[in-house]
């Protein structure tokens, strides 16, 4: 009885017979089957849901960046085209059954951007050619040194050249431009010097390999450049432009959140959070920018970019934008912290801080417009002057703080009868001083970005904006701008400072 | 005469004949030859000096990171070994002349770290196997559909699968782990489905390819793991540890430069500059860390790391360190700026700021020790408490500023008769408030790094430091530490706050 009543740890049916002395446990016969089936079903469902999620992700990526889906189709097309060489007998005989190399070239060389494809094509061609020539030379030397020493000479040459070429891939100058070429060099040299020992048809082999590589690379370049080309230069240009817009949005968002949070706490939604976090993309964009600039240098003239477009200048602009992003990161954390200045101070400072941040973000947005339209802006200098003016106003506000407030050791801000005199403990002005100084620092960094963009505009020969066009955009973008006289006044002031 | 005296713009000898009436210019006959020769010599010298510089750079890299030079030798050795297959006839016949694939595998698969090599090997094997199997399947279907439709079926399958696999390489989950596998899949599938149309010996081909790949990969793995192995996990571990040390050094350097610059301007040499700039390496380490962590996951147990070592935790620690670095960057710029607080304030605050920064950098150094020795530290909690105490002291100093100084609108700090009372305009305290707040923020970020390291220590099962050992290190590292009673006092205070 005692044993029977012990719980079995599973599903069970128990019947109590009315006389109350015995109870019988009904163990289902198919219990273990049920368990196995449930476990299996769980596994299958889990597996299917993972696959489903994967496809969902893939689909959303394809919708978000259709260029990437198109790239897949382009690779498929190029491969189908190159495999035609196999089916067409005359062509097939022409390259001597080595059409395999053409297929391989297409798969290995076809990259997302035209620049990367060109880089790999040139690398592959140069690497193959150099290694082939060197391989033939080494073969000749090995042949001269007698049958006994031939394999030794070949082995030593493979060892030394492979070691040297592999090490050279760590040297930054080589790594940036000829990494793939060095690998192809090692590959071809090893194949030529090793297979030559057997094949004895080295010249023919070299000729076939070069011609199949030529077929593969030209197919890749044509497909890459003719159907929806993705230019690394273009991507870099828009990456930098987008980064400017993201920084501007984040800067605005930070300040609005800090000063506006009291008024409307619930206004902060997911979207605004996303905008606020935009600067995070800028923090880690260095590697992408460098890769893009590297590939852009291989690209011919395309769209609005010349062959020798100053791509390195983009890296400089990117570096300054990143410095802004570091500061915005610090600002974002500090505006999110719990320590807050008293309301009276916040009210007093909010207009200066928001004015500076909106001037700063306007400058960033104008930089984005300059980049987008590739025209020099006539009003960027004015905007920078305005920004500097806002900096000065904020500094004045900080100075006047000592006039308007008597800072003592009292624990809270007490508004006195006199409207402009408030007693605020020093500790409570710390957040506002901190945020103001960060904003001033951000403005300084934005000014450096402006200089970098100006440098880029000169080197890339951006067009001069016509006065009419500029006025039109000016009115569209900034309807609340001060009048021209006022602006000139500001300009004079700022110039005197400078 | 006038014409003669006109400068020719080149090298010339002029003879003045004593009678003073005429002068004759001797134009060298071989002038153009000289020019050509000089130009050529310039070119050759320039070229040679560039090559010389290149070799100098390569040499300094090899001296600085001998592991990289050794990697080159390892690749050379593996290639020499694999090329032996060509020279040894029985083996050569065994793999049916496809030894080329073994050479190719070694060149393509052998990477710097063991993890990367393993990742590529597994990818290559899986990609080849899957694509081979699928290629055979598609072949069977194509065969069934009649001679007319065979090439069409094959072409369409190549197009669709290549497009899908290429697109899949953009999906982050695939990109991180199976990027190379996807490429090999496309390559093998294209080769199998295309060449099968001609070769008609598909099974044999597949068998040979797999066996040569097996030879190549096993050779790479053995060479990579047996001779001076470079483990991605190890590299990641030391990267994070070094980053902690660099941040500590930069933080110390910033403060010393700011507060110590008045005392000894010339003390700032190139070395201290290098130390100061250490944080810059941390700013951009994200990509490297992610790649390393990705490869480390492929590695078997090695050294002090188990197979399932929590590599993702390293990424979290790295992220917090980067956040510290952003703040230190802002601090570094602000301590370099010209705006300076008056000396009297600097003197007053320097001890609190330097105390906080040295506490903070001590915590960072202790974190580095924890990582280095892989033992939990008994004193890290105390150090964090000390740091928090230093934060409080600095905050108190900021508060007491209002007691000791009467902040008015006067233009300069005038020391009054009363020693502790000084009149300082508010604007002049801004830099010190800013730097103090940045230091407090950095301390907060360091505390988060400590939490992340603690999490890592738990998950990676770091050993518990014995009390004796801990005391020894404690005394060695921090001889000026307060007594235990005092520390306990601080701990209690901090715990009460928390």
ipTM, 2 dp: 0.77
pLDDT-based confidence at residue A464 (cuts at 50, 70, 90): confident
Q: How far apart are the C-alpha atoms of B403 and B465, rounded to whole Å?
A: 45
Average pLDDT, chain B: 77
Among B318, B252, B335, B312, smallest CA distance to B282 is for B318
Q: Does A396 touch chain B (CB under 8 A)?
A: no
pLDDT at A364: 92
Mean pLDDT value across residues B442-466: 88
Predicted confidence (pLDDT) at residue A462 exceeds the cutoff of 60: yes
How far A6 CA lies from chain B's nearest CA (Å)? 38
Asked if A109 and A120 touch (Cβ cutoff 8 Å), the reply is: yes
* DSSP characters over B75-124: HHHHHHHHHHHHHSHHHHHHTTTTHHHHHHHHHHH--SSHHHHHHHHHHH
pLDDT at B52: 92
Among A108, A115, A117, smallest CA distance to A183 is for A108
How far A398 CA lies from chain B's nearest CA (Å)? 7
User: pLDDT, tens digit, for every residue of A388-406?
Assistant: 999 998 888 887 766 555 4
Q: How far apart are the C-alpha atoms of A271 and A258, rounded to whole Å?
A: 17
Predicted confidence (pLDDT) at residue A436 exceeds the cutoff of 60: yes
pLDDT at A469: 55
* Higher pLDDT among residues A142 and A236, named by residue: A236
Q: Which residues of B touch A286 (CB under 8 A)?
A: 284
Name residue B16's beta-bridge partners: B23
| Contact check, Cβ <8 Å, B76/A154 | no
pLDDT-based confidence at residue A492 (cuts at 50, 70, 90): very low
Name residue B15's beta-bridge partners: B24
Mean pLDDT value across residues A368-377: 89
Q: Which residues of A touch B84 (CB under 8 A)?
A: 155
pLDDT at B366: 92
Q: Does A281 touch chain B (CB under 8 A)?
A: no
pLDDT-based confidence at residue B477 (cuts at 50, 70, 90): low
Q: How far apart are the C-alpha atoms of B124 and B218, rounded to whole Å?
A: 12
pLDDT-based confidence at residue A201 (cuts at 50, 70, 90): low
Mean pLDDT value across residues B280-288: 88
Q: What angle do CA A392, A394, A398 make, to 5 degrees?
A: 110
Predicted confidence (pLDDT) at residue A470 exceeds the cutoff of 60: no
Q: Which residues of A touch B330 (CB under 8 A)?
A: 326-327, 330, 438, 441
Burial of B328 (0-12, 13-18, 19+ CB in 10 A): buried
pLDDT at B402: 61
Mean pLDDT value across residues B5-15: 43
Predicted confidence (pLDDT) at residue A319 exceeds the cutoff of 80: yes
Q: How far apart are the C-alpha atoms of B211 and B219, rounded to whole Å?
A: 12
* Higher pLDDT among residues B64 and B17, named by residue: B64
pLDDT at A495: 35
* Higher pLDDT among residues B86 and A179, named by residue: A179
pLDDT at B483: 38
- How large a percentage of chain B has pLDDT more than 70? 73
Asked if A308 and A275 touch (Cβ cutoff 8 Å), the reply is: no
| Contact check, Cβ <8 Å, A287/B283 | no
| Contact check, Cβ <8 Å, B166/A72 | yes
Residues in chain B: 498
Query: Which stretches of A374-425 are DSSP H helices?
Result: 380-404
Q: Distance from CA of residue B233 to its chain's centroid?
A: 14
Chain A, window 404-433: residues with a beta carbon less than 8 angstroms from a chain B beta carbon: 407-409, 425-427, 430-431, 433
pLDDT-based confidence at residue B433 (cuts at 50, 70, 90): confident
Q: Does A158 touch chain B (CB under 8 A)?
A: yes
Asked if A243 and A289 touch (Cβ cutoff 8 Å), the reply is: no
Q: Which residues of A touch B431 (CB under 8 A)?
A: 437
- Phi-psi sector, A263: left (phi>0), alpha (psi -120 to 50), beta: alpha
Whole-model pTM? Answer: 0.78
Average pLDDT, chain A: 77
User: pLDDT, tens digit, for every residue of A223-261?
Assistant: 988 888 999 999 999 999 999 999 999 888 888 877 775
Instruction: Give the single-character DSSP code of A265.
Output: G
pLDDT-based confidence at residue A202 (cuts at 50, 70, 90): low
Q: How far apart are the C-alpha atoms of A75 and A354, rounded to whole Å?
A: 50
Alpha-carbon dihedral sign for residues A228, A232, A237, A243: positive
User: pLDDT, tens digit, for every residue of B197-226?
Assistant: 555 566 777 777 778 888 889 999 999 888
pLDDT at B271: 66
Q: How far apart are the C-alpha atoms of B132 and B190, rounded to whole Å?
A: 9
Name residue A26's beta-bridge partners: A13
Cα distances (angstroms) measured from residue B280 to each of A35, B170, B234, B273, B326: 57, 30, 22, 12, 9
pLDDT at A254: 84
Pairing of strands A463-464, A375-376: parallel
Beta-carbon neighbour count of residue A409 at 10 Å?
13
pLDDT-based confidence at residue B166 (cuts at 50, 70, 90): very high
pLDDT-based confidence at residue A365 (cuts at 50, 70, 90): very high
Lowest mean pLDDT among A168-182, A374-388, B9-23: B9-23
| Contact check, Cβ <8 Å, A195/B170 | no
Predicted confidence (pLDDT) at residue B35 exceeds the cutoff of 60: yes
Q: How far apart are the C-alpha atoms of B316 and B323, rounded to whole Å?
A: 11
- How large a percentage of chain B has pLDDT more than 90? 27
pLDDT at A190: 86
Residues in chain A: 498
Burial of B87 (0-12, 13-18, 19+ CB in 10 A): middle
Predicted confidence (pLDDT) at residue A418 exceeds the cutoff of 70: no
Mean pLDDT value across residues A69-87: 86
Asked if B314 and B237 touch (Cβ cutoff 8 Å), the reply is: yes
pLDDT at A296: 92
Q: Which residues of A touch B437 (CB under 8 A)?
A: 334, 430-431, 433-434
* Higher pLDDT among residues A234 and B339, named by residue: A234
pLDDT at B335: 73
Asked if A274 and A344 touch (Cβ cutoff 8 Å), the reply is: no
| Contact check, Cβ <8 Å, B427/A79 | no
Mean pLDDT value across residues A319-345: 81
Beta-carbon neighbour count of residue B288 at 10 Å?
15
Q: Does B162 touch chain A (CB under 8 A)?
A: yes
Q: Which residues of A touch B323 (CB under 8 A)?
A: 329
User: pLDDT, tens digit, for every residue of B104-113?
Assistant: 889 989 999 9
Lowest mean pLDDT among A82-91, B61-70, B409-418: B409-418
| Contact check, Cβ <8 Å, B54/A171 | yes
CA-based radius of gyration for chain B: 35
- How large a percentage of chain A has pLDDT more than 70? 73
Name residue B302's beta-bridge partners: B305
Q: How far apart are the C-alpha atoms of B454 and B446, rounded to whole Å?
A: 12
Mean pLDDT value across residues B161-175: 90
* Candidates A73, A171, A194, partner chain B, best to mutate (most B CBs within 10 A): A194
* Higher pLDDT among residues B118 and A414, named by residue: B118
């Amino acid at each position: 009885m005692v044993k029977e009543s012990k719980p079995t740890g599973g599903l069970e049916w128990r019947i109590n017979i009315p006389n109350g002395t015995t109870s019988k446990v009904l163990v289902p016969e198919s219990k273990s089957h049920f368990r196995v089936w449930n476990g299996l079903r769980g596994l299958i469902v889990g597996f299917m849901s993972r696959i489903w999620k994967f496809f969902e992700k893939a689909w959303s990526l394809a919708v978000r960046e259709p260029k990437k889906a198109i790239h897949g189709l382009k690779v498929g097309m190029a491969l189908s085209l190159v495999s035609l060489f196999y089916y067409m007998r005359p062509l097939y005989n022409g390259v001597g059954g080595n059409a395999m190399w053409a297929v391989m070239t297409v798969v290995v060389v076809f990259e997302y951007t035209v620049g990367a494809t060109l880089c790999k094509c040139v690398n592959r061609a140069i690497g193959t050619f150099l290694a082939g020539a060197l391989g033939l030379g080494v073969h000749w030397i090995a042949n001269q040194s007698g049958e006994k020493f031939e394999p030794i000479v070949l082995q030593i040459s493979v060892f030394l050249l492979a070691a040297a070429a592999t090490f050279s891939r760590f040297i930054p100058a080589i790594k940036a431009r000829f990494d793939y070429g060095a690998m192809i060099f090692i590959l071809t040299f090893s194949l030529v010097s090793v297979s030559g020992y057997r094949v004895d048809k080295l010249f023919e082999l070299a000729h076939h390999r070069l011609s199949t590589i030529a077929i593969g690379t030209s197919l890749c370049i044509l497909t890459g450049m003719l159907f929806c080309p993705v230019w690394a230069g273009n991507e870099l240009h828009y990456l930098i432009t987008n980064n400017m817009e993201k920084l501007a949005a984040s800067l605005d968002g930070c300040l609005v959140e800090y000063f506006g949070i009291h008024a409307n706490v619930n206004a902060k939604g997911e979207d605004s959070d996303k905008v606020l976090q935009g600067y995070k993309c800028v923090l880690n964009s260095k590697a992408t920018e460098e890769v893009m600039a590297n590939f852009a240098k291989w690209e011919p003239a395309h769209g609005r970019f010349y062959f020798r477009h100053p791509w390195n200048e983009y890296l400089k602009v990117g570096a300054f934008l990143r410095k802004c992003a570091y500061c915005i990161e610090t600002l974002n954390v500090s505006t999110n912290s719990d320590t807050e200045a008293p309301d009276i101070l916040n009210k007093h400072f909010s207009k200066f801080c928001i004015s500076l941040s909106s001037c700063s973000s306007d400058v960033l947005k104008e930089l984005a417009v300059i980049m987008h339209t590739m025209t020099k802006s006539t009003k960027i200098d004015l905007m920078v002057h305005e920004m500097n003016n806002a900096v000065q106003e904020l500094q004045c506000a900080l100075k006047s703080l000592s006039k308007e407030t008597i800072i003592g050791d009292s624990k809270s801000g007490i508004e006195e009868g006199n409207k402009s005199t408030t007693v605020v403990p020093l500790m409570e002005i710390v957040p506002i001083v901190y945020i103001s100084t960060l904003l001033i620092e951000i403005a300084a960094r934005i000014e450096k970005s402006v200089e970098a963009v100006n440098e880029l505009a000169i080197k890339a020969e951006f067009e001069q904006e016509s006065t009419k066009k500029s006025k039109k955009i000016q009115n569209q973008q900034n309807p609340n701008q001060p009048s021209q006289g006022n602006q000139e006044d500001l300009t004079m002031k700022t110039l005197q400072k400078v």
